[in-house]
Chains A and B, each alone.
Chain A
Amino acid sequence: KAGVTQTPRYLIKTRGQQVTLSCSPISGHRSVSWYQQTPGQGLQFLFEYFSETQRNKGNFPGRFSGRQFSNSRSEMNVSTLELGDSALYLCASSERQGEKLFFGSGTQLSVL
Chain B
Amino acid sequence: GESVGLHLPTLSVQEGDNSIINCAYSNSASDYFIWYKQESGKGPQFIIDIRSNMDKRQGQRVTVLLNKTVKHLSLQIAATQPGDSAVYFCAESSGGYNKLIFGAGTRLAVHP
Contacts and interface: CB of A to CB of B under 8 A. Distances in A.
A58 B99 CA distance: 8
A33 interface: yes
Interface residues of B, number: 29
A55 B44 CA distance: 22
A104 B42 CA distance: 8
Interface in A73-99: 90, 92, 94, 97-99
Interface residues of A, number: 28
A102 B46 contact: yes
B43 A48 contact: no
Contacts of A104: 43
B99 A45 contact: yes
Given A43-B3, A43-B44, A101-B34, A55 B89 contact: no
Given A90-B44, A102-B46, A42 B4 contact: yes
Nearest to A31: B98
Contacts of B99: 33, 45, 48, 56, 58
A45 B43 CA distance: 14
Interface in B38-76: 41-46, 49
A62 interface: no
Nearest to B43: A103
A89 B34 CA distance: 20
Interface of B: 2-6, 32, 34, 36, 41-46, 49, 89, 91, 93, 95-105
Interface of A: 4, 31, 33, 35, 39-45, 48, 55-56, 58, 90, 92, 94, 97-106
